[in-house]
Amino acid sequence: MPESKGRSKPVFTPPPRRAQKVTTGNPAWYAPVMVGLMVVGLLWVVTFYITQQRFPIESLGTWNIGVGFGLMVIGFAMTTRWR
């Protein structure tokens, strides 16, 4: 029985992988800003109710509640990106 010939092509070697950028965590300012927005929003709404709707901005009227909750929602939305 005849022997088979050896392989004439070189063995395939995959190209080297590129180094990927490693991103771990958030910048140092991220967590304080996130917590700060939630606290400022809470204080905004509490101030609005305690001062009988005269502060923080009287001309906004009940929209002050929207501003306070908006700040809190932005802070809460930042928690979804926190690592």
| pTM (2 d.p.) | 0.69
pLDDT tens per residue, range 62-78? 999 999 999 999 999 99
Give the pLDDT score at 7.
65
Residue-wise pLDDT for 6-43, tens only, equals 767 778 888 898 887 777 889 999 999 999 999 999 99
Helix 30-50 and helix 63-79, axial crossing angle in degrees, nearest 10:
160
Q: Which residues of 22-45 are buried (b: 16+ CB within 10 A; e: fewer)?
A: eeeeeeeeeeeebeebbeebeebb
Residue closest to 68 by CA, chosen among 49, 34, 40, 33: 40
